[in-house]
Amino acid sequence: MYPDPISVTRITSIGAGPIGGGWAAHFLARGYDVTAYLHDTSETEAFHSILNTAWGSLTDLGLAEGASLDRLRIVTDLEQALEGAQFVQESAPERLEIKQSLYAQMGEVLPPDVVIGSSTSGLTMSEIQAKCATPERCVIGHPFNPPYLLPLVEIVGGDKTAPDAVVWAGKFYEIAGKAPLLMKKEIPGFVATRLQEALWREALHMVANGEATPEDIDIALMNGPAPRMVSQGQCMAFHVACGAGGMATNLDQFGPALKLPWTRLEAPELTRELRDRMVDGCNDIAGDRHFEDMAAQRDREIVAVLRALREARLG
Amino acid sequence: MYPDPISVTRITSIGAGPIGGGWAAHFLARGYDVTAYLHDTSETEAFHSILNTAWGSLTDLGLAEGASLDRLRIVTDLEQALEGAQFVQESAPERLEIKQSLYAQMGEVLPPDVVIGSSTSGLTMSEIQAKCATPERCVIGHPFNPPYLLPLVEIVGGDKTAPDAVVWAGKFYEIAGKAPLLMKKEIPGFVATRLQEALWREALHMVANGEATPEDIDIALMNGPAPRMVSQGQCMAFHVACGAGGMATNLDQFGPALKLPWTRLEAPELTRELRDRMVDGCNDIAGDRHFEDMAAQRDREIVAVLRALREARLG
């Protein structure tokens, strides 16, 4: 039903803000033809500024063959902006009535096999697609700021989204150089923001209680969890740190620590089912890799990151 | 009262596990003479294995002038191990009776101007120092795993610790190549583990509720918050993302989002006092740097980190 995502060459990016501009820059850097829809010509200068900032970083990261800022077209008429689009990334303002009206219009104009990905962080696709006549192809494709640098895109449909469209979006974003995460459920904050928000609220509690300053919070994160977390997420970090026993040892041995007041967030009950999901999940990620090899790879990556940061800070 | 921390050349590291071994490797790499106290000669082989693993990474990071594995001495007699020590890093097993007995012994043997830093993650210094006759110089100096790579050391005293000893430890760890964080209060989990634990428990909730798999959690972290968090902690990430308005805009405009169900952790009340602490704290960190320069530096660092990871993964 949907065309092969590898055949996509023309993308329309809607929105003149940092997210819309960031997406436009990213797609241009991956070698796509990009049409940017701005609401008003008065937004052009700010849009170019975002684009140029992003382009510098993207050039340093390495452009795809044929990638060029010349392949950008800026349009302020919506119908014209959607002409020929094979994929649409929507980063309009985060107001439901604006998005609903936009999706109603796009639903009429765009062929039904053109997938639309929304950058929304605070709305659900079930809400956004409510007034769209062709809601099956509408998904959320939520980036992480800055969107031209961070690879994550969280993908989830709404009540009326076709499962095929979600799968298609996952494949498309991967081809387009992103790290797609196909979500299991439509939940507020998706996955990454929920994790970040838990950390953030614990930080606010600590500052409110005089336990830490904002500077302390940042020193702790930048020099503690972060350089490891670029190499291993928290699940694999614990899995590998526990040696041969992995996540099973972590939960069976240190499970009681989940009751300790190490954060204000209460842990869920560590049921057998949760324990097994965590253990099986980590074993699946590890595959046939030995924990010592994974630890060595982690260390190589941390060393590379620390060296790169040192140089970037000196330079 | 305490000698100039720059004059320290001889360190005793207590403990044969990954933390003790990691500390010994770190101090050797920084050019110190290190005496490692092992409880039993049977631990020697495992200790050397930890040390050698760490040494490879530390060599890649760059050794201090004169740094050498030959400057390590392994001793299984405690008194002998403490002879001549100018600083002690204690990484004994995490059992209170073991630590209390050890600090009682060290308290008798070590001159009172030799600071002892404990690697404990689960005990408080007030408990650990309870049976020590010279508790004033006892502090917690909590590393983050792996301790030979991650710079963070969280420092806090117990009820009987002299404030001078805490300050001394901060200076010493900094000279020794670490990123010290002088804590404001003795709290369970210190700062970094509290932040990580909030994130971890939210992750467990998500897996328990079928909202995400362990793989989803790790994909989200590694490709979303982490590559930015090595460059900016969460406070400065929000501060800089909000442009000229900084953290004030973040809290004044998006403050209501703290009530949204974006995590299971309830946020503290956003009082005027908390708001001001956050805003003032971020302004202090920023100093006279313009937000655009900070965003540009963030981008340079993220690019450097992503490139370094790509190369480390290609091998």
Do B44 and B107 lie in a common domain? yes
Among B127, B158, B182, which residue terminates a domain? B182
* Residue B252 resides in a domain: yes
* Residue B87 resides in a domain: yes
Give the number of domains in chain A. Answer: 2
What pLDDT, on the 0 to 100 scale, is given for residue B315? 72
Do A107 and A159 lie in a common domain? yes
| Contact call for A233 and B213, based on CB within 8 A | no
* Residue B209 resides in a domain: no
Position A125 confidence tier, pLDDT thresholds 50, 70, 90: very high
Number of CB atoms found within 10 A of residue A58's CB: 24
Pair B203, A169: CB distance under 8 Å = no
What pLDDT, on the 0 to 100 scale, is given for residue A238? 97
Among A182, A213, A237, which residue terminates a domain? A182
Pair B222, A230: CB distance under 8 Å = yes
pLDDT tens string A258-298: 999 999 999 999 999 999 999 999 999 999 999 999 999 99
Q: Is the pLDDT of residue A208 over 80?
A: yes
Q: Pick from B108, B165, B126, B116: which is nearest to B15 by CA?
A: B116
What pLDDT, on the 0 to 100 scale, is given for residue B171? 98
* Residue B259 resides in a domain: yes
What pLDDT, on the 0 to 100 scale, is given for residue A32? 98
* Residue B199 resides in a domain: no
Position A315 confidence tier, pLDDT thresholds 50, 70, 90: confident
Partner A contacted by B206 (CB < 8 A): yes
Do A53 and A165 lie in a common domain? yes
| Contact call for A203 and B193, based on CB within 8 A | no
Number of CB atoms found within 10 A of residue A98's CB: 13
Question: Closest residue of B to A292, CA-based?
Answer: B53
Q: The dihedral of CA B141, B146, B148, B150: what is its sign?
A: negative
Q: Is the pLDDT of residue A210 over 90?
A: yes
| Contact call for A302 and B149, based on CB within 8 A | yes
* Residue B56 resides in a domain: yes
Token duo for residue B28: 């050797």
Share of chain A above pLDDT 90, in %: 99
| Contact call for A184 and B212, based on CB within 8 A | yes
Do B244 and B104 lie in a common domain? no
> Which of B229, B260, B302 is nearest residue A188 as measured by Cβ atoms?
B260
Partner A contacted by B217 (CB < 8 A): yes
Distances (CA, A) of B143 to B119, B152, B229, B274: 6, 6, 18, 28
- Domain CATH number, residue A127: 3.40.50.720
pLDDT tens string B241-260: 999 999 999 999 989 999 99
Do B27 and B163 lie in a common domain? yes
Nearest-angstrom CA–CA distance, A268 and A75: 50
Parent domain of A287 = 224-314
Do B40 and B178 lie in a common domain? yes
What pLDDT, on the 0 to 100 scale, is given for residue A80? 98
Do B141 and B228 lie in a common domain? no
Interface of A with B in 223-282 (CB under 8 A): 223-236, 238, 241, 247, 257-258, 260-271, 273-274, 277-278, 281-282
What pLDDT, on the 0 to 100 scale, is given for residue B28? 98
pLDDT tens string A54-110: 999 999 999 999 999 999 999 999 999 999 999 999 999 999 999 999 999 999 999
Q: State the smallest CA–CA distance between residue B2 and chain A in angstroms.
A: 25
Q: State the smallest CA–CA distance between residue B142 and chain A in angstroms.
A: 11
What pLDDT, on the 0 to 100 scale, is given for residue B264? 97
Q: Is the pLDDT of residue B1 over 90?
A: no
Q: State the smallest CA–CA distance between residue A110 and chain B in angstroms.
A: 31
Do A177 and A119 lie in a common domain? yes
What pLDDT, on the 0 to 100 scale, is given for residue A108? 96
Do A28 and A144 lie in a common domain? yes
Among B182, B215, B240, which residue terminates a domain? B182
Partner B contacted by A49 (CB < 8 A): no
> Which of B56, B205, B257 is nearest residue A268 as measured by Cβ atoms?
B205
What pLDDT, on the 0 to 100 scale, is given for residue B116? 98
Work out the average pLDDT over A177-204.
97
* Residue A212 resides in a domain: no
Return mean pLDDT, chain A: 97
Pairs of residues, one from chain A and one from chain B, whose beta carbons lie less than 8 Å apart:
411
What pLDDT, on the 0 to 100 scale, is given for residue A234? 98
Work out the average pLDDT over B50-54.
97
What pLDDT, on the 0 to 100 scale, is given for residue B26? 98
| Contact call for A184 and B216, based on CB within 8 A | yes
Interface of A with B in 174-193 (CB under 8 A): 179, 181, 183-185, 187-193
Q: What is the ipTM metric for this complex?
A: 0.97
Q: Which residues from A are below 8 Å from B187, CB to CB? A: 206, 211
Interface of A with B in 5-44 (CB under 8 A): none
Nearest-angstrom CA–CA distance, B281 and B259: 23
Q: Which residues from A are below 8 Å from B251, CB to CB? A: none
Q: State the smallest CA–CA distance between residue A297 and chain B in angstroms.
A: 8
What pLDDT, on the 0 to 100 scale, is given for residue B261? 95
Share of chain B above pLDDT 90, in %: 99
* Residue A209 resides in a domain: no
| Contact call for A236 and B218, based on CB within 8 A | yes
Rounded to the nearest 10 degrees, how much is the dihedral formed by the CA atoms of B80, B86, B92, B98?
70
Do A26 and A175 lie in a common domain? yes
pLDDT tens string A5-41: 999 999 999 999 999 999 999 999 999 999 999 999 9
Number of CB atoms found within 10 A of residue A229's CB: 24
